[in-house]
A and B are shown apart, each in its own frame.
Chain A
Amino acid sequence: MTTITDTGPAPTPIPAETRSDHRGSWIPTWGMVTTRLMELRRRRGMMIALIAVNIGIPVVFLGVRLITHAVDPKSYGPAGGYTIFTTLVAGFMYVFGFVVAAVVGCTAGSVDLTEGMFRHLVITGRSRLALYFARIPAGLAIVIAMVAVGYTIVCVVCVFAAPTQLNYDGVNVPQGLSRPALDTWAASHADEVICDFNYNGGPGLNGPPPNVPCGGGQSSGPPPGTVIQTKRGTITVPASESPAQIRAFAVSVANQDYTDYHSNFLVPSTSLMVDVGLWIALEATIGFIVGLGLASLMGQRTVPVVLLIVLELILTPIFSRHIISHLLNVQRGIVGVAMAHIEPGGLPTPFSGGGSGGGPGVNPLIPESTLTSSLVIVGWIVVWTAIGAWRMKTRDA
């Protein structure tokens, strides 16, 4: 039997304050969120990467375009406009916004462990789940703020520095024309339409294009007298074509290109900007949440960052457009594929170069319903949050 002498005075009872501070609750306090925010935003390297990708690179890109256009407007197009907006958002901010958000998530999910702070925090008696959940609003406050600032700058420049005329296939065309109006315009600008618009046969376009001057000593069709082999036999290019024939050909070309022309705008619409803003914010949120959960699971930062870069830059582009019959459902479960399916209309899918259906030579997205896409996205957020929280709760500190 062990005998010990009690050498101390009677203990003071634990103050009532302690009993009411909900220390065992999984809900983090406001103070925990704000101090976690402070901890993250003072990481210089991470913040530089975050600012550079979300704000710096778009600002430099648009700034250079603004300057070059101001210096030599004939050689350099306007800084803003619909095309610049879609290219910048879908081609850069969406993809790399995910990557840097994942870096922030991986940082938030691992640094307490790697820097020895996790142990101090556990000893406070605070719920481990609350410690985990405090990271989510803190990290998202940084990530979404940066995305919002960068995206706002892009929107402002693209709206206020937009071209005054729509440049379609290198030709200045009035924006927003109806089909008859475009036909009328094409008839009056037949040479430009025939020389510069893309067309690929079809009604009214069976023969060779009329021979019209395109500038620089070039012409639109083969020289008069050239014999051309077609499916119906041989055709000899006439010495000259009547203006009516030329106008008819131009109208046919314009008709063929109308759908494509109609999806081009001088400036992105307000609804499109709102939709796209929410879309890239969601993408950044997913990057952060997945990074947070994966880093919490693995207890380190580097490997999760590499894995998420591979997912976003290599696996997603491949799996989104190449059907592997046995893995189709797995492909549908990739969050990048689901995000591509819910992207706002009129935006080129990242790495595809031409809308969600894909441009010429690009495979269409693998089939997936909007409901499935939504469930996949929600699933990724919920599952990775749960995995990270579970690991946080069970990990030895």
Chain B
Amino acid sequence: MSTATLADSPAVTGGDTQWAVETHGLTKRFGENVAVNDVELLVPRGCAFGYLGPNGAGKTTLIRVLLGLTHADSGTMSLLGHAVPRHRDLALARVGAIVDEPRFHGHLTGRQNLQILAAAREPAAKGRIEPALERVGILHRANDKVSKYSMGMRQRLGVAACLLGDPQLLILDEPMNGLDPAGMLDMRDMILSLVAEGRTVVLSSHLLDEVERTCDAVAIVDRGSVIRQGPISQLLAGSSFEVQIECSDPDRAGHLLDATAFGAHLSVGPDGLAISLPAGTERDAIAEINRLLVEGGISVYRLQHIQASLESWFLEVTKRLGDPE
């Protein structure tokens, strides 16, 4: 495992950088509204990277800027080591993306739509149409008109379109939209298999549970700015956690702990005691709780350390940022 920082990121000139996506000071304004605000983003190659944020946080706008769908007002960016927009053609040659809802020519079949997109890529892309259709599971419907496709099938066709370029980087904006549970499972497996092949997947989603199951690292964006980014395990390690206690007398245990520093984070529920401990609390605190209860004559049957989920961490982070100073 290697570690890199913004300070030692290489100059953006070629395709051999370790970052799939790299932005510095990227800003995009719509009049007075700053949709993307001085974003510093580093997405390592070969991982699934979640890009999370509340509605209107600027997720899709950043993706559109990265892909050259709209221009940035300031800042620099690169995809797969190629500066964008200067070397946009080289950068996008190995990028596949779904932005917003995937839409196609409804009067054409799925295969014909892919033929149009393959023609805009390199000649070899034509030969990737059938494998792409097969991989996303719509080969049997490839000759049906897209107007007859469900939302989920259009999502799959969108992913197939991404695969035409044999991408090193896939940017998927809400790819789970419109998928049923089985479809979401398929999509998750596909994303994981793409990552296993050495590709980078940037997954923009509001389905935090899916992101947690799929991604290695995430960035949290709020009001146009990236406020946290890094591997999920590292980010969650720095968050608050909960200790659940199953014991012989929860009410008395509550009174006992109430008199200590743990009392401020205590709640008694049907499953027993739950103590929320703030980020940075040492693991010894759990042993201290156990000692206090045992010395108080309470039998402790189970003491479980529960790490915060990505969802609770996300809500905690974004709520904290939303609070007045």
Residues on A close to B: CB < 8 A?
1-14, 17-19, 21, 23-24, 29, 31-32, 34-36, 38-39, 42-44, 111, 115-117, 119-127, 131, 396-397
Contacts and interface: CB of A to CB of B under 8 A. Distances in A.
A8 B42 CA distance: 13
B1 A38 contact: no
B161 interface: yes
Contacts of A38: 108, 112, 115-116
Contacts, number: 181
Interface string B122-143: 1110100000000000000000
B230 A2 contact: yes
Interface in B82-139: 88-97, 99-108, 112-113, 115-124, 126
Nearest to A46: B107
29 contacts: A2-B229, A4-B4, A5-B3, A5-B234, A6-B2, A6-B45, A8-B45, A8-B195, A11-B46, A11-B80, A12-B168, A12-B198, A13-B16, A17-B122, A29-B120, A38-B115, A39-B105, A42-B107, A43-B107, A44-B107, A111-B105, A115-B103, A119-B100, A121-B117, A123-B95, A123-B97, A125-B88, A125-B95, A126-B120
B217 A7 contact: yes
B68 interface: yes
B321 interface: no
Interface of B: 1-7, 15-16, 18, 20, 40, 42, 44-47, 64, 67-70, 80, 88-97, 99-108, 112-113, 115-124, 126, 161, 165, 168, 195, 198, 200, 216-217, 229-231, 234
Contacts of A2: 5-6, 40, 42, 229-230
Contacts of B115: 35, 38
Contact of A117 (B15, B88, B105): B105
B6 A117 contact: no
A111 B116 CA distance: 13
A308 B205 CA distance: 44
A31 B89 contact: no
By Cβ-Cβ distance, the 8 closest A-B pairs, closest first, are A8-B46, A116-B103, A125-B92, A31-B119, A24-B89, A397-B69, A23-B89, A7-B47
Which of B2, B15, B96, B119 lies at the interface centre, i.e. has the most chain A CB atoms within 10 A of its CB?
B119
A3 B106 contact: no
Contact of A7 (B6, B161, B216): B216
Contacts of B230: 2-5
Given A19-B90, A23-B122, 10 more contacts: A3-B5, A4-B4, A5-B234, A12-B198, A36-B116, A115-B104, A116-B102, A123-B96, A125-B92, A397-B68
A42 B234 CA distance: 53
A124 B125 CA distance: 11
B16 A6 contact: no
A149 B89 CA distance: 40
B95 A5 contact: no
Given A115-B105, A116-B103, A125 B90 contact: yes
A7 B112 CA distance: 37
Given A35-B119, A397-B69, A7 B231 contact: yes
A120 to B, nearest CB: 6
Contacts of A4: 3-5, 42, 44, 217, 229-231
B160 to A, nearest CB: 11
Contact of B104 (A32, A34, A116, A127): A116
Contacts of A18: 90, 93-94, 122
Given A29-B119, A43-B107, A1 B90 contact: no
A121 B44 CA distance: 26
A119 B99 contact: yes
